[in-house]
Amino acid sequence: MNRGKNPKRTKPRRKGAVPPRVWCWVLFWMALAALAIACSHNLAPVGEEPPPPVTEKPSLPGGLELPVLGDQDTAIYNEEGRYTFLYRPECKVSRWVAYKLTLSDVTGDAGRSDAFRPDPRLEIYGWASAGAADYKGSGYDRGHLLPSADRKCSEPANRATFLYSNMAPQLPKLNRGVWKTLEEKLRELTRDYDTLYIVAGTVLPGRWRTIGDGVAVPDLFFKAVALRKADDFEGVAYVMPNGAVALEGKRFDDFEVTVDSVERLTGLDLFPQIPGF
């Protein structure tokens, strides 16, 4: 008698058991979910260190008075005098000094210190400073970019204005004439305005003359000012020649120009954080 093949026996599935193919799908979706969570938290792959957080370059103290800095510019902040300057080591004068001026700065009791001295901050960068010997017998004054009388609030602040990084060779006719008159006028304006944001600087010719051991003599000096009253700003600027003939018979306001014209002259971007400038 022919017998048919025995039917294949299968293990009966318990009631309520999950089929294997369902478990495969569950594990697949769980793996995808874990990968999504890892990506959302920027987790590094296993065995690798997480990337360092992105941090911005620390900003200088100060604010609205600061010009835009180029990629190669190294501006230095003077804590005692509360001003920032951009030094040119190749000619031992600063391109500009930027600072804020208020009524409290000019009405203190600190007197003029006359503490002329090299700036120790320059040594950090290996830069040489001008000194007294460079000016002696040169026929030029040690002209302040930030005036001594703009820092009467304390003795340390006043002493900070006598660093040679804050000086440039000025003819006496300029330093003791219209430049001084301009400084006095700006101090008077602190009674009418909340804050003056000031950038004072030098303009050198293509081939500059020097005094002493390579201290360049600027052709021009400038001051650009943003005057603030509450939320309103006004701008004014001055460019003055460092030459006796060009100064003859002139008043300080004869040299008034626009802030834009100073930017064109110097290549600086002044008061970039103030709307309208």
Residue 160 host element (H or E): helix 155-160
Answer yes or no: are the C-beta atoms of 110 and 155 closer than 8 Å.
Answer: yes
**200: CB partners within 8 A, 6+ apart:** 96, 97, 98, 145, 146, 221, 222, 223
**pLDDT score recorded for residue 16:** 53
pLDDT at 11: 46
For the stretch 163-173, pLDDT in tens is 999 999 999 99
The pLDDT of residue 2:
45
Query: How far apart are alpha carbons 107 and 103 in whole angstroms?
Result: 6
Measured CA to CA, the distance from residue 201 to residue 100 in angstroms comes to 15
Per-residue pLDDT tens digits for 206-229: 999 999 999 999 999 999 999 999
Q: Residue 50: pLDDT above 60?
A: no
pLDDT at 31 over 70: no
242 — pLDDT class (breaks 50, 70, 90): very high
Give me the pLDDT at residue 17, please: 55
pLDDT of residue 22: 53
Whether residue 253 has pLDDT greater than 80: yes
Q: Which has more pLDDT, 58 or 140?
A: 140
pLDDT of residue 97: 98
Q: How confident is the model at residue 105 (pLDDT cuts 50, 70, 90)?
A: very high
Q: CA 196, 239, 110, 112: dihedral to nearest 10 degrees?
A: 180
**Measured at the alpha carbon of residue 219, what is the angle toward residues 214 and 221, in degrees to the nearest 5?**
105
- Rounded to a whole number, what is the distance in angstroms from the first to the last CA of the chain? 111
Task: Check: CB of residue 152 under 8 Å from CB of residue 106.
Answer: yes
64-66-70-72 Cα dihedral, nearest 10 degrees = -140
pLDDT, average across residues 25-35: 61
Domains and CATH numbers, the chain: 75-266 (3.40.570.10)
Strands (E), 36-113: 75-78, 83-88, 93-101
- Specify the residue for token string 């390579």: 214
pLDDT above 50: residue 87: yes
Give the model confidence (pLDDT) of 185-212 as tens digits: 999 999 999 999 999 999 999 999 999 9
Q: Does 41 participate in catalysis according to the annotation?
A: no
Q: Which among 95, 144, 151, 152 is annotated as catalytic?
A: 144
User: Residue 116: is it exposed, middle or buried by C-beta count within 10 angstroms (0-12/13-18/19+)?
Assistant: middle
Nearest to 149, CA basis, from 173, 174, 184: 184
pLDDT of 64 > 60? The answer is yes
Distance CA 168, CA 51 (A): 47
Report the percent of the chain where pLDDT is more than 90: 76
**What type of residue sits at position 99?**
Y
